[in-house]
Structure 1
Amino acid sequence: MQWVLLACLPGLLTLLWQFGWGSLLQLLIAIVTAVACEALVRRLRHQSVQADQSLFNQPLLAEGSALVSAALLALTLPPYAPWWLTVCTCAFAILFGKALFGGFGQNPFNPAMLGCALALVAFPAAMSQWPVPGHHPGLGASIQHVFGLESGLVDGWSQATALDSLKHNNRLTVEELFAGHPAFGGVGGRGSEWVNLAFLAGGLLLLQRKVIRWQIPAGTLASLFILSLLCWNGSGSDSNGSPLFHLFTGATMLGAFFIATEPVTSPSEDRARLLFGIGVGALAYAIRTWGGYPDGVAFAVLLMNLLVPLLERTTSRTVGAQP
């Protein structure tokens, strides 16, 4: 848990650099909500946690899974989403994503992605609005907007994401989008290119420290790259986007290295992990391209969580059948 939080720091700092203080506010709100919900559940169940068995030796944090889930959920939310959206989705993630199934180690679904999916389904407009990189408000204005203390968001702060803009584009070529649309950068979404590179660096740290295995990130990125290459229909107005665009836009690297690799909700056998990652990448691309949502990482992870028992049974039978 400590290494995952440490590896998230480059991505968080890059989000702050590109989009302002909103991501830090979302993180603080999510952490307070998640820790409070988990403490309430433990109190109702009369469970206690020893200091030497808790994250950073803080019994309030327990084993740290609520803190990690809160951090991952906050990093997927738009920086200036209203506070109540963060509280509702984070409470849903902890209470319905983990506590309902018996607590840590018992949940079949990734709690952070359950919260993200709720936000995408219930509040799609709020989830599609991100600030223009480099044109974000200061700390005071950020606090006022997140907590609803001002009437509305300045038009120059907000825009649809690159994935959303490409999905609903029907008249501009890809070159025209990259040349004139503020959401597009060099090869992907402006700002999100750097964010994905930062999460890639954090993910490589987790691999180097052997906190995660390589199969899920490799399968996710490989299938996303290959499918986007095979389905890449040029640069016309109906383009689905290039492989590099899909790799460095949206929550690709965060999903591949931090979300899909959660040990509780992903397979434990190597070949099952690889198939799991391939499925996440394929479903994410399918939802981005033909589904109703611009980014499909959350739904892809949740759908593959459903298939974990099948993947493990299938691969275990295959291994057992070998001479």
Structure 2
Amino acid sequence: MDNRSPYIVDAPSVSVIMFKVLLALIPGIALYVYAFGLGVILNIFLASLTVILTESAILAIRKLPIKVFILDGSGLVAAWLLALSIPSIAPWWIIVLGTLLCITFGKHVYGGLGYNLFNPAMLGYAILLISFPLIMSQWQIPNSFIENNIEWFDQIKIIMNSSLLSKETIDAMSSATPLDYIKTQLTLNQPLSVIQQNKIFGFLGGKGLELISLGYLAGGLYLLKEKIISWHLPVSFLASLFIIASIFYSIAPDTYASPLFHVMSGGSILCAFFIITDPVSGPTTPKGKIYFGIAIGLLVFIIRIFGGYPEGVAFAVLIMNIFVPLIDSLTQPRIFGHK
């Protein structure tokens, strides 16, 4: 007979939660492979191997049990999110270096899981973007594998050793992202209606990328169903991004992209369900989560439109991570019986 009070339930372990997060990423990854090839799988493999080796070394130095801390899965989640955020044809050492940095400086430098101030994956991504802007801007041409029948193994050759392929082949496989292309063409006084006729654009966002976003959305809904995350962060973030994009779009539709484009482009859906929902670097109160999501949505749009980078997810998340302790302190619910 269970003598525990009926309102006390067994909370899932960290490893179970992280396993479900990894499972929720599978639909998006599968669609990523379908649209862009095997490069993302190689990046995930390299990131996973790097995080295991890096955490093993750090835990050995700290004289902590290696098996227990690695099996919690938090390092793998950060590594996978980083691998999904960088170009799928980036050189192999980019994901290795980024994973090493995100685990070392994003997690263990603060004391390990539960103590990190910043989102580890976004910290690693931001460092890579600032340090190697050219490499981090060379993305796979959307749906080139589907439409042009380019060999998947050409992509693997680029990642492992770009000298194995001609510059013409590499150039034929890479391009700017839709967000980057719009920002560049607008500076050349091209109207948005003309810009979006380029083959890299799909129905709502970037061709291929909008399909991947639907995969991330399916995974996010699974996390909501399993109560791994709450609705507050994804809904507030997406609503904030949609509303501010709608305001600018209504003012100048030939200068500012539609709200649906902003939601379905870049890392918006991945951010909504997998990045800002990090339980350590985000707020803990329901009201705080709403404020946090709204602020990140606004910052993402501001950086995309007025900033020097076409995508603002990483910088927006890192900026708001700084304010999490303040947000939590200001949004604590009133204690029952206290005025």
TM-score relative to the length of structure 2 = 0.88
1: CA distance, partners of 2:152 / 2:171: 18
> Which amino acid is 1:174 matched to?
L
Superposition deviation, residue 168 in structure 1: 1.4
**Deviating more after overlay: 304-313 vs 152-161:** 152-161
Q: Equivalent of 1:130, from 129, 135, 139?
A: 139
Confirm or deny that 1:99 pairs with 2:108: yes
Q: Which residue of 2 aligns with 1:313?
A: 329
- SS of the residue corresponding to residue 169 of structure 1 reads helix
Preserved CA contact (<8 Å) 2:281 2:321: yes
Superposition deviation, residue 178 in structure 1: 2.4
Superposition deviation, residue 173 in structure 1: 2.3
2: CA distance, partners of 1:294 / 1:320: 44
Q: Which residue of 2 aligns with 1:142?
A: 155
Q: Equivalent of 1:17, from 12, 15, 34?
A: 34
Q: Which residue of 2 aligns with 1:169?
A: 185
- Ranges in structure 1 where 5+ consecutive residues have no aligned partner: 55-60
Preserved CA contact (<8 Å) 1:33 1:87: yes
Q: Which residue of 2 aligns with 1:58?
A: none
| Residue-by-residue CA offset, 1:136-160 (whole Å, 9 max, x unaligned) | 4434222211011524453221110
> Which amino acid is 2:316 matched to?
A
Structure 1 runs of 4+ off > 4 angstroms?
320-323
Q: Which residue of 2 aligns with 1:57?
A: none
**Deviating more after overlay: 165-174 vs 223-232:** 165-174
Confirm or deny that 1:46 pairs with 2:71: no
> Which amino acid is 1:106 matched to?
Y
Superposition deviation, residue 49 in structure 1: 4.6
2: CA distance, partners of 1:134 / 1:303: 33
1: CA distance, partners of 2:79 / 2:22: 11
Q: Equivalent of 1:37, from 49, 54, 61?
A: 54
Aligned length: 311
Superposition deviation, residue 134 in structure 1: 2.4
- SS of the residue corresponding to residue 80 of structure 1 reads coil
Tell me the C-alpha RMSD between the 2 structures: 1.7
Preserved CA contact (<8 Å) 2:300 2:316: yes
- SS of the residue corresponding to residue 154 of structure 1 reads helix
1: CA distance, partners of 2:244 / 2:124: 27
2: CA distance, partners of 1:235 / 1:315: 37
Question: In the TM superposition, what are the counterparts of 1:1-323 in structure 2 within 5 Å?
Answer: 1-49=18-66, 61-136=70-145, 137-148=150-161, 149-151=163-165, 152=167, 153-170=169-186, 171-179=189-197, 181-232=198-249, 233-236=251-254, 239-316=255-332, 319=334, 323=339
Superposition deviation, residue 274 in structure 1: 0.7
2: CA distance, partners of 1:76 / 1:254: 9
Preserved CA contact (<8 Å) 2:232 2:286: yes
Larger radius of gyration: 2
Preserved CA contact (<8 Å) 2:138 2:174: yes
- Ranges in structure 2 where 5+ consecutive residues have no aligned partner: 1-17
**Deviating more after overlay: 27-36 vs 135-144:** 135-144
| Residue-by-residue CA offset, 1:76-120 (whole Å, 9 max, x unaligned) | 011000111111111000011111111111101000000110111
| Residue-by-residue CA offset, 1:32-81 (whole Å, 9 max, x unaligned) | 1111100111111111155xx56xxxxxx331111110000000011000
